Structure 1
Amino acid sequence: MNPVEIIIRKRNRTALTEEEIKFFVNGYLSGEIPDYQMSAFLMSVYFNGMSDEETVALTRTMLFSGEVLDLSHIDGLKVDKHSTGGVGDKTSLVIAPIAAAAGVIVPMISGRALGHTGGTLDKLESIPGFRTDLSKDEFIKTLEKIGVCLIGQTKEIAPADKKIYALRDVTGTVESIPLICASIMSKKLAEGINGLVLDVKTGSGAFMKTLKDSEILAVNLKNISEAFGVKTIAYITNMNQPLGNYVGNWLEVYESVEILKNKVHNELTELCHLLAGTMIYLGGKASSLDEGYSISKQMIESGRAYQKFLEIVEAQNGDVTFIENTEKYAEPKFKFVVKSNRNGFVSRMNTFEIGMLGIELGAGRMKYTDAIDPKAGFIFYKKIGDEVKIGDVIAEIRTDKDQQNYFTQKLLKAIDITDTKPDDEPLVYKTI
C-alpha cells in the first residue's frame, strides 16, 4: 500500500478500508510513515470526517496497537467512567470508591490536566506519596486486592494513541469527533471493561460548547463502545460553571473527601450519585438506575465509600493521615478574597477563563512538562443564581504568587452579576 494514495483518498472523501487504516496507523507507530504524512492524514480526517465503520476501524487499530488487559480472572463486572473534562470535575475521586464499595470492579485509567481542564492524576498526586504510575502487574494486583485502582496510561496501553495525540496537539487537529472518539475509546476499551458511563460536558467550560456538538460526541462514543460489546450509558451534563465549590488539585481532593464523609450536599454530590449509581447498575449490583442511585447514597451514609477511598490511598502508597486530617496539608503563601463590586445575582461564569486563570495561579499546565502547584486554586462561595450584595465574598484565590490585584480583577471579569436572577439550568441535559 502507498501512504500518499491513502491520504489522497481521504482528502477526496473516499471511505477507507480497515486494512488501509491499519496500514497507516501501524506504519506511523513503527516509524515507516513520517510525521508530515500522518499530519496530512489527520487534517484530511479533520475536514472530511469518517464514517462509523472507519471510526470503529481506527479505534480497533489503536486499541490493538498495544495490550488489552484481561481481567476475566477477577470475579464481577468491570465498569469505568469517562468524562470529557472541565473545571472542578472531581467526580472520579468520589465515584470510584462508591462503586467499588458496592462491589463493582473499577479499573480506571485517567488523564492529566491540560489547558483549562483538570486531570484526575494530578489531583490524586497532590496526596503526599500517592502513586499513579503503577505497572500493569501492580494495577492488576491492586484490582484483585481492593477492587479498584486509578492510574495513568501505561506504555503498554494504546501506544498508537499516545503518538497520534501528541501530533494532533501541535497540528490543529484535536477538535475532530472521529479522532476524539478513537483516542478516548482505544484507552477505555484496553481496560477490559464490561460497562462504561460517559459524562459528556457541555457549556462554557467544556470541550464541546454547544448541546448539539456534545450530543453528537456522546452518540458517537456510545456507538463505538457498544460496537465492542461494552454496555454504555451517556449523560450530557452542565459545565457552564465549575463543578462543586473547590477548584485546584488538593482543594478538589478536600471537597471529594468531604462528600465521602457525608458532609457536603451540592450539585457535585448529586452528579456523583447519578454516575456512581449508573456504574453500580452496569456492574450488576442494582436492578435499575434508581436502585443504583439509592445504593450509591447508602455507600456514603454508611461510611463504606470513605473507607474504600482510604484503602485506595493506602494501596497506591499515599499518606492516609492527610485524608483523615486534611488540616495537616500545607497552606499556600497567599489567600486573596474576591468581593462583589455590585448588587444583583451571579448570572454567568466564564468557566473556560476561570480554568485558564487557574493555570496562572499554578493549578494547571499548558504543556505536559509544566510543573503544578497542588495548593493553588479557587474556593467559590457564590455560584450561578446566587444573590450578592456589594462587599459579599464571591471567592477565595489560593496561590504562591503575589499578584493580588491582577488575579482578583481577572476573576471578577469572568463572573457576570446582573439585576435579574437567571433561569435555572439543568445539571443533566440528556441521557443517551
Structure 2
Amino acid sequence: MHACVLGAGVIGVTSAWQLAQQGWQVTLVDSATEPASGASHANGGQLSYSYVAPLAEPDVLPHLPTWLLNPSSPLRFRLRADPRQWRWCLQFLQACTHRAAAATTAQLLSLSYLSRQVLHDIQSTHAFDFGHAKNGKLIVYRTPSLLEKARDQVKLQADLGSDQRILNTQELIQLEPALAPAQAHLAGAVYTPSEESGDCARLTSALFKELAAMSNVNIRMGTTIQALQRTGNRIQALRTSQGDLIEADHFVMAAGMGSQPLMAQLGVQVPLYPLKGYSLSVPCAQAHVPAISVTDYERKTVYAKLGDTLRIAAMVGIGASNQGIETDRINLVRRQAQSLLPDVDLSAAQAWAGYRPATPHGRPWIGQSRAADNLWLNIGHGALGFTLACGSSHLLSSLIRQETPAIDPIPFQPRS
C-alpha cells in the first residue's frame, strides 16, 4: 500500500514514520525545504503527558475581560472580518464548561499516555539526540487562590492516573533553586515528576533523516500542494506546483493551517484557527537555569532546558495578521522571563513566532475524513503537538491499517 503524507512538521513526519515502519510505501510532501519549519520549529519543548487540560476551560471566562484589555496579558485578541474566527470563538466559549473540560482532559490523557509509550518505544531502538530529559514539570502559581483551585485539576487527573502533588513556596524552592530570586512572588506549584522535555525540531529532523534513508520512502520537499483531486468518494491524486500528480492509495492530511484551504477545496470547513505563539531560545551553558521544566501559570509562559538551550515560550494571539515577530510581544516575553529568572542572560536569545493550529475544544482531529474514503486527518493539536504527536500518529496508523487501536478513537474522529 502507498500513503501520501501532506506536511513535514512533527505530526506529518511521525505519521509517515509509523506507516513506513509497517512496510508501506510513503511519499512525504511539504512546501518548505526543511522539516519542522512551522509550528514544530521552536515550540515550548515540554512533553506534558500528565497535564493536558484544554485551553477551553471554565477558569478562562472570568479572566477574559482582563486579558483582552491588558496589553501585558498572555492573550491578545484582534477581531477580524472573518466568519471562521467568529465561529471558532463561539465554539470555544461553548466548550468552556466543567463537563466539557473534564471529558476533554480524560480523552487527551489517554492520547498523551499512548504518545509517551510510543516515543519511549522508538527510543528503545533509535538513539536520537534531541535534548530529551525526564526532568519533571512545575506549574508555578503567583496567587494563592489559583493554587487552591489547581487542587481540583490535580484530583481529576490523579483519578485518571497522573502522579502530581501540590508544593508550598518553601518546597518549591527546595526542589528548584533557580526560582529562588522570585520566591516572594510565588505561592507554590503543582509538581509532576514524570513529565519530560525535548527539542521538537531536532526529533522531527532525526526521524526525517531516517525516513529519507529508507527505500520505501519518497521525500518531496519544496513542493507546494495545489489540490487534492477527488473522483467520487476517493482522492485519486495530489496535484503539485511542479505540474505533476502524486497518486496513492491513502492520503494523510497533516499540513497544519495549510490543511484548511486544501480541505475547503473539497467542500469541507475544518474548525482550525491559528493561535500565535512566541519563543526565545537562550544558550544556557550558564548557572541559574531551571533543571526542571517550568510553567508560569498566570503568565502562560513555559521554560524548558533542551540540552544546551533554554526554551522560553509564551503568549496566545488570536487574529494575528501574520506570523512575524511583534516587537512589543517578544519584549514582554523577555521582561517576564527576566522577572522570574533575573540571573539568566537573555542577550543572545533567538526570537521566533509562529502559528499553532487549534480546534476550539482542544482535541485534535485524528481519523477518516467524511470528504473521501481514503483521506485521513491528523490536525488541530494546538500547543500540544509535540506531546501528542507520537500517539496521534500511532492511532492514525492503526486506523488506516484497519487494526484495533490502542485507545478509543471516537473522541478524535473528524466531524467532516
Question: Normalized against structure 1, the TM-score is what?
Answer: 0.25
Bigger radius of gyration among the two: 1
Question: Normalized against structure 2, the TM-score is what?
Answer: 0.25
User: Relative to total residues, which structure has the larger strand share, 1 or 2?
Assistant: 2
User: Relative to total residues, which structure has the larger helix share, 1 or 2?
Assistant: 1
Higher relative contact order (CA 8 A, sep 6+): 2
